[in-house]
Chains A and B, each alone.
Chain A
Amino acid sequence: MKTLKMMTSGFAICCAGMAMANDDLISRMDDPTQWAIQTGDYKNQRYSELDQINAENVGDLQVAWTFSTGVLRGHEGSPLVVDNMMYVHTPFPNIVYALDLEQEGKIVWRYEPKQDPDVIPVMCCDTVNRGVAYANGKIFLHQADTKVVALDAKTGEVKWEAQNGDASKGETNTATVLPVKDKVIVGISGGEFGVRGSVTAYDMETGEQEWRAYSMGPDEDILVDPEKTTHLGKPVGENSGTNTWEGDQWMIGGGTTWGWYSVDMEENLFYYGTGNPSTWNPAQRPGDNRWSMTVMARDIDTGMAKWFYQMTPHDEWDYDGVNEMILTEQEIDGEERKLLTHFDRNGLGYTMDRVTGELLVAEKFDPAVNWTTGVDMDPNSDTYGRPAVVAEYSTEQNGEDVNSTGICPAALGSKDQQPAAYSPKTELMYVPTNHVCMDYEPFRVSYTAGQPYVGATLAMYPAPDSHGGMGNFIAWDNINGEIKWSIAEQFSVWSGALATAGDIVFYGTLEGYLKAVDSETGEELYSFKTPSGIIGNVMTYEQGGKQYLGILSGIGGWAGIGLAAGLTNPNDGLGAVGGYAALSDYTALGGQLTVFALPD
């Protein structure tokens, strides 16, 4: 509670007298009756102060109403609720519905963009979209074809449009956008098509482009100050975005930016991570491949980088660094600090000082992780901040055309984009995770614009010598870098979590269950099977004095592709073939919002 009050007063100080365009959004994020941003708040905590539904009564939860989106395929993200209006989005074709909650969800307006369906096959891993954003009376949609659209929140009228990328080159979008101050900041997808990642800021009122920061390339492209921008406390120096690449490979270098964004208004910084370097064949891109796989802190106004931390230099496994950065104020070693916690695809949970970029904790959040023995935490070491790579699992050291086996985690990571939640009451992070390992064989590929540029063969299977399932839902202590409790799940947990002041945590499963667990113990308190598998994020709001809980169902995404037919371990021999659960035995395509409440 103390930390929350501090945070609120912090906002008050920083924003008073500046009359920023997003004061309105900040006040709504502070109001637990609304769900004004996909991430719950700028800190990406996904925590709600609402406690009408709590650990005592959540067992009585019932379905209050449902809504079919009219679209099949993977439904990621969640609806927003602003001023008694709910905004529901869909995967491609990216329809947006505005539902009046005071009129039992009557559709006030709907917007369906016209997009060339040729964008569909260049979206690696399904046509998902992680939702719309709200600010200043506008709804912001970032379509699959990278067009950013601002809609009037009351009428659905188009206020402006901006084209962020070129789908014919494999540039697509799956992410939500970040509305902050007078800007809308957007990312880009296409790491498997040789896209060079970037973040771009548009003027919130006009859609005019203000700045763009690439993930790799010359200093003027990546918006760094060679003397002031730091990596683990040291200046990055000149040409840091090209001098760890061979030749022109950085031009098709990946490092895309399709994850979540968080903001510290006091520091005037926003935070995000960059994706894998392109291609997946590490032999084709010698060097550290900066600044792929990097946590980035940038100035909101200028895009100028304050600090970087590259988690996985010279990626050899497709461990994108795009997952959310959760901001907290906690005591660590007796000192109250502004922290950033990040659960990376590479299986390490990082806790950092978000002001300075200092690395405080880096520990495995799944005991199966084996590609590294850990991160060098000695600031005086030459390899400070680098993970020590285990030779047996190094697809670089084993070489092209060699099948490296038994690598944990698999390319989909110990955790993908599905966001974790943080409860200030327990000071625990609640993390949806994958428990999947892989064989990985890299080989040479050639680049053709707009064509897949992958360069590796993968086989994935449940983590060996474990519970046999492909996922866990864990509670993580980000100060000590320890798992507090872990719930074994049959499939990867691909749904974003929600923690509430009612001492409960919610998440969805790929079979389609919405579950509520006790935030202290992990004990299951409620479970309901929705019409299709859940890869969306749980949200909550209050309307007419009653707390509601919303979740999108609709199986798909990487999970639906990778797990639909079940996974087999090629190293187990013929006897095990077909021995693992197929997702298609549990669920089918769908597209539905289910809203829960307590009985009257």
Chain B
Amino acid sequence: MRDFISARARAIPPSGIRKFFDIAQTMEDVISLGVGEPDFVTPWCVCEASIYSIEQGSTAYTSNKGTPQLRDAISRYLDTRFATHYDPEAEMIVTCGVSEAADIAIRAVTDPGDEILVAEPCYVSYSPCVSLAGGTPVPVLCRAKDEFRLTPDALAESITPKTKALIANFPNNPTGGVMEERDWRGIADLLVDHDLLLISDEVYAELTYDGGHFSPARLPELRDRTITLNGFSKAFAMTGWRIGYLCAPPGITAAALKIHQYVALCAPVMGQVAAYEALRNGGAEKDAMVREYRLRRNLFVDGLNKLGLACHLPKGAFYAFPSVESTGLTDVEFAEGLLREQHVAVVPGSALGPSGAGHVRCAYAVSRDDLKEALSRMGAFLESLK
């Protein structure tokens, strides 16, 4: 029989955490700082609204781009929360999580031979999606010395005549780095000069701790060359509901919608009902979760630095990204040793891009008691290395 697997599928690298996953499965008492999702359960009002709608028989397809009710609510939310303005009819698609939004955004704009810049370290899906679309992903490195911001210098170095777009995710998974208005201005100049598109994944926008989130589409020169991606998973603890959205100028939105309607048809209606309720009544619980993440961040980052694992105070998302260089181990060795010996799961930074090497990603989306226990186990692990 022939090998039926396509060259493109074969070219996708295997997951950098598969091995760790398998080890963790054999253990009973793992404290996992390895999961990129909130530990909170979705606010009850949101669950209740969705349950009620199912009881009422709301179980059918919706409009491809999502219910008008939800798109209206998202449009108003973006306007009041981040001062960005998108027409709910022509400039918005509700998707199956931000993962799908990223995929259809990339496919809507990528031609074979296009180079798509990816600000790294980052969430693992962007580069494979670019490759699957026939494009060439090109990493742009964000560095610890810049608190993992994207700098104009790093960007400028990577631009070639083939470059078409930049994908960036701030607040960032895995570094917790953020970009403020002045940081985006320098990037915007380059994007305009080289006529590039920006795909901005802002799924952690609500999780900023020192000053609000700045959405790059607020800059007039970027408004019509930006695809803004966002969703409900992180802000409202709704990972399992799979609701994200894509906002872009009408032409790009129409192109992405063609792909969305064939691959997903529409996002699940139960999730759309839930998302609408989250925007209507979930604000207070969202704010309470953000306050709690901030407390955990303070506790955990303080603990890491006391252990001698250098970590800047991340200003967004729920990740700490300490350097493990002081241990003499690589990030993979550190993560594996910590898991095997102390049953604490963290993600090696190199699994999230070459510039993540020497760091590990610790999600502090676990209870403060678990964070304290994790810190004490990390301390014991460091002792054992001496």
A complexed with B: no
Taking Cβ atoms with an 8 Å cutoff, the residues of A that contact B are: none
Taking Cβ atoms with an 8 Å cutoff, the residues of B that contact A are: none
